[in-house]
Amino acid sequence: MSSSPNGSGEKHAAGAFDVRNVIAALIGFYGVVLLVVGLVDGDEALEKTDGFDANLWVGLGMIVFALAFALWSRLRPIVVASPETRDDEESRPA
């Protein structure tokens, strides 16, 4: 998809404004936080979960989920028409 800096009315990808990128960034950030907490947690946290390092594994899962969202956003971008193109399409008779 090409963007048009000169306002010629071409369609372009949503890019950073795609909500999937925002979701991927937020979930990825929280996943990294949980991963770090899981790596530095003491034995008390492991005792609470019967030896299962929940923070570590949930953090890894969230990072994988965030990567999947980012990949989805890359492979299937949302195409947005410029305002000029939308005005032209709305003014055409049906």
Domain encompassing residue 65? 19-76
Regarding whether 42 and 10 lie in a shared domain, the answer is no
Regarding whether 50 and 27 lie in a shared domain, the answer is yes
Q: What is d(CA 50, CA 6) in angstroms, rounded to the nearest whole number?
A: 61
Residue 86: what pLDDT?
56
pLDDT one-digit tens code per residue, 14-60: 666 778 899 999 999 999 999 999 999 878 888 888 888 899 999 99
Residue 23: what pLDDT?
93
Regarding whether 66 and 47 lie in a shared domain, the answer is yes
Structure-model confidence comparison of residues 31 and 77, the more confident one: 31
Contact 63, 24 (CB under 8 A): no
Regarding whether 69 and 30 lie in a shared domain, the answer is yes
Instruction: Label residue 4 by pLDDT band (50, 70, 90).
Output: very low
Q: What separation in angstroms does the CA of 48 have from each of 42, 45, 51, 64? A: 11, 5, 8, 25
Regarding whether 46 and 31 lie in a shared domain, the answer is yes
Regarding whether 69 and 29 lie in a shared domain, the answer is yes
Instruction: Look at residues 51, 54, 75, 60 and name the one whose alpha carbon lies nearest to residue 28.
Output: 60
